[in-house]
Amino acid sequence: MTILFAAVLLFFLCAVRAFADGIDMRSLDRYIRKKRAAAGVSRLCLLLDPEKCGGMKSVESQCLEALGKAEKCRQYMREAKSEKDWREAMKLLKGLEDFARKDVFYTYCRNNAIRLAIEMRKERMIDFATRAAALVAVAVVVIYIINYNVHRDRYDRAVALFKAGDFAAAEQAFAKMVYEDSREYEKKAKTYKAFDIAGYISLGRYPQGAEGEKEPIRWRILAKDKTRRLVLSEEVLDRDSYEEPKWEREKWKDSRIRQWLMSVFL
C-alpha cells in the first residue's frame, strides 16, 4: 500500500511539473499571439485612417520589436543546448517589459544556464584530468626510457673499462650506479685494482697460527694480464696427498688434491 501511494504521489508530482512547464510555454505563446494581433490592428488602423491613427505607427513598431524578441526567446528556450543559449534567452526576456511571467521565465532560464555551466565545468575538469593523467603517464614512460638508456650506456662503458683492465676507473664508474650487477662488478674491480698496483695482496683468511687461528693470507703476484693474476701464498697454508694411496698415477683433474682444493680448502 505504501509503495502504491508513493508511486501515485510521484506520478502526480511529475504531472504537475509537466503541466506547469506547459503553462509557462503557453503563456509565452499567448504573449506572442497578443503582440502579433496588436501589430496587425495597428497596421490596419494606419491603412484605414492614416491621419487619425498616426500614433499607431510607434505602437506597431513596439509590438513588432517585442514580438521579435519573444519569438527568438521561445526558439532559444526550445532548442537550447548550451549555457550561451539560455543566456541569450535571458537577455531577450529583459526587453519584454509587459510580459506578466517574465520573472518566472527569467529564473527558469538562469537555473538552466547555471546547470549547464556546472555540467560544462565538470566535463572540462574531467577532460583536463584525463589529459593531465595521460601526459603524466607519457612523461613517466619517457623519463624511464631516458634513464634506462643513460644508465645502460654508463653500465656498458664501465664494463668496457673493466674488460680493458682499467680497474680504478671501472670501480669509480660502478660505484656511482645501481644497475643490474654493478655492485658485484664494483667489488671485483676493487679487488683487481689492489692486485694491479701491488706486488703483494692480502685476500681471505686461513688457519695459520700455532693454535689454528685464522689469519689474513698474504699473496705474492707472480704474473698478470688484463683480468687475471697468478698468485702464490707467502706461507704454506696446508698440505695433502696428490692421490689416493694406490699403485696407479691419477690425472690432475681426477686427483684427490684437486678435489680437496676445490671444496674443503675454499
Q: For the segment 4-21, what is each residue's pLDDT rounded down to a tens digit?
A: 555 555 544 444 443 444
pLDDT value of residue 21: 45
Query: Considering just the CA atoms, what is the radius of gyration of the chain in Å?
Result: 49
pLDDT value of residue 129: 92
Pairwise CA distance, residues 231 & 222, whole Å:
5
pLDDT value of residue 23: 40
Q: pTM of whole model > 0.85?
A: no
Residues of the chain below pLDDT 70: 1-24, 50-55, 194-199, 226-227, 243-250, 266
Is 231:220 a contact under the CB 8 Å cutoff?
A: yes
pLDDT value of residue 100: 86
Alpha carbon separation from 2 to 9, 11, 15, 140 (Å, rounded)? 11, 14, 20, 57
Residue 114's closest CA among 75, 88, 78, 83? 83
Is 120:114 a contact under the CB 8 Å cutoff?
A: no
C-alpha cell at 2: 505504501
Q: Does the CA dihedral 115-121-127-132 come out positive or negative?
A: negative
- Name residue 7's amino acid: A
C-alpha cell at 35: 503582440
Helices (H) and strands (E) in the chain, counts: 7, 3
Residue with cell 688434491: 257
pLDDT in tens, 197-206: 656 777 788 8
pLDDT value of residue 174: 85
Q: How many residues does the chain have?
A: 266
| Cα–Cα–Cα angle for 136, 141, 144, rounded to 5 degrees | 120
pLDDT in tens, 118-133: 998 999 899 999 999 9
- The structural domains of the chain, with segments of one domain joined by +, span 19-123, 240-266
